[in-house]
Amino acid sequence: MGIDPPAGGAMKLTPTSFLILGMVRLGVRTGYDIKKFADISTQNFWPISLAQVYPELSKLHDGGFLTRRSDPKGGRPRSVYTITERGETALGSWLRSTKTEPVQLRDEAMLRLFFADALSAADQLALVARLRERNRGNHEEMRREILPRAEAVEPGGPHYPAVAARFSADLFAFAEKWLMQLSSELEADKKS
Amino acid sequence: MGIDPPAGGAMKLTPTSFLILGMVRLGVRTGYDIKKFADISTQNFWPISLAQVYPELSKLHDGGFLTRRSDPKGGRPRSVYTITERGETALGSWLRSTKTEPVQLRDEAMLRLFFADALSAADQLALVARLRERNRGNHEEMRREILPRAEAVEPGGPHYPAVAARFSADLFAFAEKWLMQLSSELEADKKS
DNA sequence: CAGGTCATGTAAAGCGTTACATGATTTT
DNA sequence: AAAATCATGTAACGCTTTACATGACCTG
């Protein structure tokens, strides 16, 4: 009532904000659905938790980037969001922004590999075997769950989600071959 | 004086703790040197900041995993650390631990790619070009700075740092080819 | 002698995860 | 009838980053 509607003058949007904004733009309209869809699409390169989604939606709504409409299913409250003109503009200029942030990888298993010289030959092999197994699992999930969904897009639908999925899948495939090679080399070294 | 020397009964060590511990074990003895060496070795899969190093060293010292010796260079104070038996044990059981944490990737650029359908064909190409350029830079740095240092190891020295470096370098190389391919496909689509 | 590197820390702020809390609806 | 899923949030905690602070030593 007393709040200037578009408001958000000095509002700093994070990549997580744009993830939410982009999801709403793709037609994923509720907080719960955004989290569910993110889990099978963007989780590999930008993980989010459900606890981030709701405050972020409110923030974007307060800033005028989204509109909120109450649409209860039965007696259960539910909020449905739509992107505004302002939201589209913000998303567009983020997508065109040229400042490139570095990739950030965090992998405890790779850290273990780095220090693996402290292990016996047998334990080294076991460590690499665990790395391979985890990677194989990730690859499987990618190929079976994520890629097919991303590729099952109606004509005229978005096609970059499938590009991103294929990239991840191919990276996992490459890592799989690489780690197999490493295993073989270690086995060979053991015998000599 | 009144402190039980080994102390650390219920002390929870994080991957960052083991990174520090492992570095000291490899003969990197001061906080400053650990950060410097981490920057050209483990930064790609477990980034740390200098502000983490010193408190972590103190924590590990308090827990009896490291010994501290004061060794000033000129009038400048300096602490040199050594790993203890207890530290070796802890590092070993972490390395042999079978619980596998998931890889965690965070890449704003990939997130942009995922939502690139909102862009014009020209802007899509520009986005991919930026991705490629960043990747090429990472690959270059890997090949020119990190790999050679990791591979320049005296006989009997650790050889897994070089394995880890080669893995990263090869991943970047793979991504480079993949992104080149994507660029070509987009160019081809544009003409048709 | 100025700027860079060596060297060690503290404080504040930001971001994200886990756990907590609640309750309706749907599926088995 | 129980379990899973839908649905929305809050609170506490932990890890990391950035900024602040200090000062000696070395190189051009």
Rounded Cα distance, A150 and B148, in Å: 40
Which residue is closest, via its CA, to the C1' of C22? A76
Burial of A10 (0-12, 13-18, 19+ CB in 10 A): exposed
What residues of B are in contact with residue A92 (Cβ under 8 Å)? 118-119
Radius of gyration of chain A (CA): 22
- Identify all chain A residues contacting B164, using CB atoms and an 8 Å cutoff: 110, 113-114
Closest A-chain CA to B167: A178
Q: Can you give the pLDDT at residue B10?
A: 60
pLDDT of chain B along its 192 residues, tens only? 434 445 545 689 999 999 999 999 999 999 999 999 999 999 999 999 999 999 999 999 999 999 999 999 888 899 999 999 999 999 999 999 999 999 999 999 999 999 999 999 999 999 999 999 999 999 999 999 999 999 998 899 999 999 999 999 999 999 999 999 999 999 998 777
Residue range A129-154: average pLDDT? 95
CA distance B114 to B72: 52
In this structure, the strands spanning B79-83 and B66-70 are antiparallel
**A111 contacts in chain B (CB < 8 Å):** 15, 18-19, 22, 42, 45-46
Q: Which long-range contacts (CB under 8 A, 24 or more apart) does A38-43 make?
A: A40/A145, A40/A146, A40/A149, A41/A146, A41/A149, A41/A150, A41/A161, A41/A164, A41/A165, A41/B114, A42/A164, A42/B111, A42/B114
Rg, Å, chain B Cα set: 22
- Name the minimum distance, in Å, from the CA of A146 to any CA of chain B: 13
What pLDDT digit, counting tens, does each position of A41-78 carry? 999 999 999 999 999 999 999 999 999 999 998 888 99
pLDDT digits (tens, 9 = 90+) for B84-116: 999 999 999 999 999 999 999 999 999 999 999
A47 Cα to chain B: minimum distance (Å): 7
Q: Is B161 in contact with A111 (CB distance < 8 Å)?
A: no
Task: Round to whole Å and give the CA distance between B35 and B100.
Answer: 26
Residue among B34, B49, B97, B106 with most chain A CBs within 10 A, to mutate: B106
